[in-house]
Structure 1
């Protein structure tokens, strides 16, 4: 049986990152093995930092590794939505996982532009993690 592969877009928000990791951990899957690729897009990265140095990415990776989930980290520059979609296609991901925003006063979940672009641009299933009410 093949591995269930998840590509998760991780921004700088630790709460989003934690929620993405928890969603991946809790995801029911026919396959006993899950693999998660965490992808972080740098807006601009003059110092050449790697995504594994970003606190939100480390938080998500540590949580996944505690649950023995095979995790790898990738960084990209440029459009984050394109990076997430391209990575999902290259990795033949089963699922894209991405963080949502707060709810609006009307109770609708607000999607950031990256989340919206991924939902509209991907041919693969996309799961948007909820955000706790503060």
Structure 2
């Protein structure tokens, strides 16, 4: 089985792009772990309540892809890489955001942090 860890936030368009890219891969017998990081979660929400995660799951499952959810608290890039390590994932998939060069320099980038802090292949879905 080919395991993909896909990071999703609350943006349904980015989650859709991730799911569509995964469905287009020429790989059989895929398991996708949709991962969401709650940086602050005083209400105790779960990934099942994140519309973007549900949308991605529905799209993936409609293509016969096995999907599971993983939620954790903390820095999103750290969480995506930790889930990938724990699952011994074959691939990490994330969707980038369109940001100005100054915005990237000042605020950093989850996608950039994922890429720089893993030895695993990373598929970055465009805008």
Normalization by structure 1: what TM-score? 0.86
Match of 1:80 among 64, 76, 92: 76
Deviation (angstroms), 1:128: 0.4
Match of 2:95 among 84, 95, 99: 99
**Number of residue equivalences:** 122
Q: Distance in 1 between matches of 2:2 and 2:20?
A: 16
Query: Which one has the bigger helix percentage?
Result: 2
What is the aligned partner in structure 2 of residue 20 from structure 1?
18
What is the aligned partner in structure 1 of residue 122 from structure 2?
126
Q: Distance in 1 between matches of 2:40 and 2:62?
A: 31
Q: Distance in 2 between matches of 1:104 and 1:28?
A: 33
What is the aligned partner in structure 1 of residue 58 from structure 2?
62
Q: Secondary structure at the match of 2:70?
A: strand
Match of 1:43 among 33, 39, 49: 39
Q: Secondary structure at the match of 2:6?
A: strand
Which stretches in structure 1 are left out of the alignment for 5+ residues?
Answer: 106-111
Q: Secondary structure at the match of 1:117?
A: helix
1:11 and 2:12 matched: no
Q: Distance in 2 between matches of 1:77 and 1:104?
A: 27
Q: Distance in 2 between matches of 1:88 and 1:28?
A: 20
Deviation (angstroms), 1:102: 2.1
How large is the Cα RMSD of the aligned pairs? 1.6
Q: Secondary structure at the match of 2:67?
A: strand
Normalization by structure 2: what TM-score? 0.91
